[in-house]
Amino acid sequence: MTAPPDRGFGGFVATARSHGHLVVQPRMGFGSRARMRVGLERTKQAQGVTVGTITLDSYTRVGDFAAARAAVGGNSPLNGYPLLAHGAEATRALLDGVQDESFPVQVRHGSARPQAVFAELVAAGVHATEGGPVSYCLPYSRTPLRESVRHWAQSCELLASAGGPDVVPHLESFGGCMLGQLCPPGLLVALSVLEGLFFTQHGLRSISLSYAQQTSTEQDMEALAALHRLAAEELPPDVRWHSVLYAYMGLYPSTARGAERLLRSAASLAVRAGAARLIVKTTAEAHRIPTIAENVAALELAAHTAAQARPDEPGAPRDESGGGVYAEARALVHAVRELHPDLGTALARAFARGLLDIPFCLHPDNQGRTRSLIDDQGRLRWSSTGGLPLPGTAPQPAARAMTSAGLLESLTFVQRAYDS
Amino acid sequence: MGGTVLVSGTSSDAHTWNLIYVHLFLEERGYTVHNLGSCVPDDLLVRSCRELRPDLVVLSSVNGHGFTDGLRAIRTIREQRDVRHVPVVIGGKLGTDGLRNAGCTRRLLNAGFDAVFDNGDLGAFELFLNRHRTAAA
Ligand code: B12
C-alpha cells in the first residue's frame, strides 16, 4: 500500500528535496493584511524554491488579543501579523490565490498557549505551523512548563485532526533554537528530537526538526548529522520528517556585507549537511523589522548560494556521525525518555530535576545551573553542566563570574567575525 | 552604594538577553537588582513595586512594541496612590522601524517616565544613574 500523496507543507519540502533543491523561507510578518498579502506574493515569485510565512505579532503570541485589536484599530505598528484580530475569514481571503499546492504557507507564532492560534489558522485554511511545549514556553513566556505541555498536547491534537484527504498537517519543532545563542548543540539537537517525539505522541505524522546555526561551521555540520541520525533512530517509522536550519538566531552582524556573508554561510551549511529547508535572515536583522524587498533579497541570495553548493560526501574525513554532539544529544534524549513513557510528563520532570537545563534562561521552571562558553576554536562548549546527564564529563572548574562585558563579548562573537 | 533597582521586561516582550545585560550592568555599579524577567504584565510590575519599594525601576523592551507597552505600563504605575512616585526609566529598541522617534519619546516622558533611552544608549543611562545617585544622596 502506498501512502496517499501529501499536497501540504511536508510533502512539498520532500518533493523539492528529492529534486535536489533546498527550500528557502522568510520570517515575515506584517500588521496590515494588504502588506502581508504582497509579502506572500513576492515570496512566491522570488527566484528559488520558496514557501510562505505568516509570522504573528507579540500581542497575539502572549494572548493579549485586545492589545492586538487596539493596534489594528489605532494603526499603531505591530511586529507581526495579528491573526486573531484579523480573524480566520479575512485571513482566508488574504491567502486565496496565493497559497496552493506549489506554495504552502506556515504560521510562525511563539506561544505557550497556542490553542486559539491553532484553531484560527486551521479555520483560515493553513495546515502548517511550529513551536513546541518547551521551545515556546521557556524562552517565550512565564507560563509554567507543565501548563505549556498541556496546552501543546491539546493543540497538537487539534492540528492533527485538521488535514484534508490529501493534506497532511505539519508541525515544526523550534527546539533547535531556544534563546537563539549560547546553547551548546547537543542540547539543541536533543530538544528538537524530544519535541518531535512529543508531536508524534499527539497524533502528528508530518513534522520537521530544527537546528539554529551557531558559532562554528564544523560543529554545526556535526550537529546536523547528529540530528539526522538521532531522528532516524528515535522517530516512529510511519512519521515523515525533514530537518530545517535557521540562519543565525543571535545578535546579527550590523553591516549589510556581514549579514549577507552570514546568510551565505548558512545556505551552504544547509546544503553541505543535507538540511531540507532554510529559514533566512535579512540585512535589517540587527536593526528593525525587515521590508518585503529585504526579505526577497535574502531568499534569493540564499537560494542562489545553495544552488552552487553540494552535499558533503558521506564518509568524508569529518566525523559524519556527529561525534561528540551526537553522543551528548543521545544521552539527553535517552535520559528523558526513561523518566516516563508520556513525553510531556518526561519533559516536565527532566526540567524539574535539571536533566535538561538551558544556559542563561530566566524562566522559573529552568534550574539555571548550566553555563556555556565559546572556546578558542569557536566551538560552543559547556562551562558548567549542572545536572545534565552527559557522557564522560569531567568535573569542571567553577565558571568564572559573569560580567556585562564578558556576556557581550560572547553574544557578539559571530557579529564581530562577520562584520570585520 | 546604589540602592535597589527593579529590572523588568514589558508585557508583550519575550527577549531576555537585554534583561540579563542590564542586570549585570547595574550590579557592576553597586546596585542590588531584582530581575522580573520577560512578558511582565502591568499588575505584576505594580505588585513588585509595592513589595520591593525599589529606588529605581528600569524597563527594557526590544521587540518593537516598547512605545505602546511602555505607555500603558507607566500610566498604570502613575495611577497607583502608593507607588506613583517611584522613578521609572525605559530603554532598548522601542519601535519597529529602527528610527529614533522624538514624538514617541516625548509622549513617554509626558506620561511619567523619568528618562527614555530609545536606542538603548548606555552612556546616557550611566549619566542618568550618576545624576540620580547624587540627587538621592
Ligand atoms: C536573540 C533574538 C531573539 C531570541 C530571544 C531569546 C531571548 N530569550 O532573549 C528569540 C529567537 C526567541 C527572539 C524572538 C523574537 N524576536 Co527577536 N531578536 C533577537 C536578536 C537576533 C538578538 C537580540 C539579543 O540577544 N541582543 C543582545 C542584547 C544584549 O542586546 P539588545 O537586546 O539590543 O540590548 C542592548 C541595548 O538595546 C541596550 N538596552 C536594552 N535594554 C535597555 C534598557 C535601558 C534602560 C538601556 C539604557 C539600554 C538598554 O543594552 C543592550 C546592550 O547594548 C535581535 C536582532 C539583533 N539585534 O540581532 C532580534 C529582534 C530584537 N527580535 C525581534 C522580534 C520582532 C522578535 C519576535 C517578535 C519575532 C518576530 N516577529 O520576528 C520574537 C519575540 C516574541 C515576543 N513575545 O516578544 C526584532 C525587533 C524589531 C524591532 N524592535 O524593530 C529584532 C530586532 C529582529 C528583527 N530585525 O526583526 N528574538
The secondary structure element, H or E, covering residue A184 is none
User: Best of B39, B48, B72, B75 to disrupt the A interface by mutation (most A CBs within 10 Å)?
Assistant: B39
Average pLDDT over residues A253-259: 98
Is a pLDDT exceeding 60 seen at residue A176? yes
CB-based contacts of A316, cutoff 8 Å, min separation 6: none
Contact by Cβ (8 Å): B70, B10: yes
**Cβ contacts (< 8 Å) between A361 and chain B: which residues?**
16
Contact by Cβ (8 Å): A54, A107: yes
- Domain positions in chain B are 11-58+72-136
Average pLDDT over residues A50-70: 97
Within a domain: A115: yes
Average pLDDT over residues A180-197: 98
Mean pLDDT across chain A: 95
Instruction: Identify any residues that bridge with A212 across adjacent strands, giving them in sequence order.
Output: A246
Is a pLDDT exceeding 70 seen at residue A3? no
Contact by Cβ (8 Å): A228, A274: yes
Average pLDDT over residues A272-287: 98
**Cell numbers given for B34:** 531584582
Q: Check residue B117 and give its pLDDT.
A: 96
Q: Check residue A394 and give its pLDDT.
A: 59
Instruction: Identify any residues that bridge with A372 across adjacent strands, giving them in sequence order.
Output: A382
Q: How far is the CA of B66 from the centre of ligand 1 (A)?
A: 11
Q: Check residue A313 and give its pLDDT.
A: 81
Is a pLDDT exceeding 70 seen at residue A233? yes
Nearest to B20 among A140, A284, A407 (CB): A407
Nearest to A141 among B14, B21, B99 (CB): B14
Q: Check residue A164 and give its pLDDT.
A: 81
Q: Check residue A322 and give its pLDDT.
A: 56
Task: Return d(Cα A348, Cα A365) in angstroms, integer.
Answer: 9
**Top-confidence residue, A293 or A322:** A293
Q: Check residue A411 and give its pLDDT.
A: 98
Nearest to A62 among B12, B64, B97 (CB): B12
- Segment among A38-52, A255-269, A275-289, A315-329 with least mean pLDDT: A315-329
Contact A411 CB / ligand 1 (< 6 Å): yes
CATH no. for residue A126?
Answer: 3.20.20.240
Within a domain: A386: no
Q: Check residue A399 and give its pLDDT.
A: 65
**Cell numbers given for A50:** 520558496
SS3 B12: coil
Q: How far is the CA of A112 from the centre of ligand 1 (A)?
A: 19
**Cell numbers given for B103:** 514624538
pLDDT digits (tens, 9 = 90+) for B33-86: 999 999 999 999 999 999 999 999 999 999 999 999 999 999 999 999 999 999
Counting the structural domains of chain A, the total is: 1
Within a domain: A203: yes
Smallest CA–CA distance from A74 into chain B, residue = B68
Average pLDDT over residues A171-195: 98
Least Cα separation, residue B97 to chain A (angstroms):
5
Q: Check residue A2 and give its pLDDT.
A: 58
Q: In what order do the strands lie in the sheet with B31-35?
A: B31-35, B3-9, B56-61, B88-92, B115-117
Contact B76 CB / ligand 1 (< 6 Å): no
What is the number of the ligand 1 atom nearest to the C-alpha of A110? 75
Residue at grid coordinates 513617554: B108
Percent of chain A with pLDDT over 70: 95
Give A310-313's long-range contacts (Cβ < 8 A, gap of 24+): A310/A271, A310/A272, A311/A271, A311/A272, A311/A273, A311/A274, A312/A221, A312/A272, A312/A273, A312/A274
**Cβ contacts (< 8 Å) between B28 and chain A: which residues?**
403-404
Q: What b/e sequence results for A291-306 when a residue is b if at least 16 CB atoms lie within 10 Å of its CB, and e otherwise?
A: bbebbbbbbbbbbebb
Taken as a whole, chain A contains a residue count of 420
Within a domain: A18: yes
Contact B122 CB / ligand 1 (< 6 Å): yes
Q: Would you place residue A55 in the very low, low, confident or very high pLDDT band (cuts 50, 70, 90)?
A: very high
Q: Check residue A392 and give its pLDDT.
A: 75
Strands (E), A165-213: 170-173, 206-212
Within a domain: A367: no
Q: Check residue A320 and give its pLDDT.
A: 47
Is a pLDDT exceeding 50 seen at residue A380? yes
CB-based contacts of A13, cutoff 8 Å, min separation 6: A23, A51, A208, A242, A276, A277
Amino acid at A385: T
Q: Check residue A5 and give its pLDDT.
A: 85
Average pLDDT over residues A333-358: 98
Range of the domain at A43: 9-308
Give the architecture (CATH level 2) of B11-58+72-136.
Answer: 3-Layer(aba) Sandwich (3.40)
Amino acid at A243: S
Within a domain: A393: no
Q: Would you place residue A1 in the very low, low, confident or very high pLDDT band (cuts 50, 70, 90)?
A: very low
Within a domain: A404: no
Percent of chain A with pLDDT over 90: 92
Is a pLDDT exceeding 80 seen at residue A323? no
Q: How far is the CA of A408 from the centre of ligand 1 (A)?
A: 14
Task: Return d(Cα A95, Cα A379) in angstroms, integer.
Answer: 42
Interface of B with A (CB under 8 A): 11-14, 16-17, 19-21, 24-25, 28, 35, 37-40, 63-65, 67-68, 93, 95-99
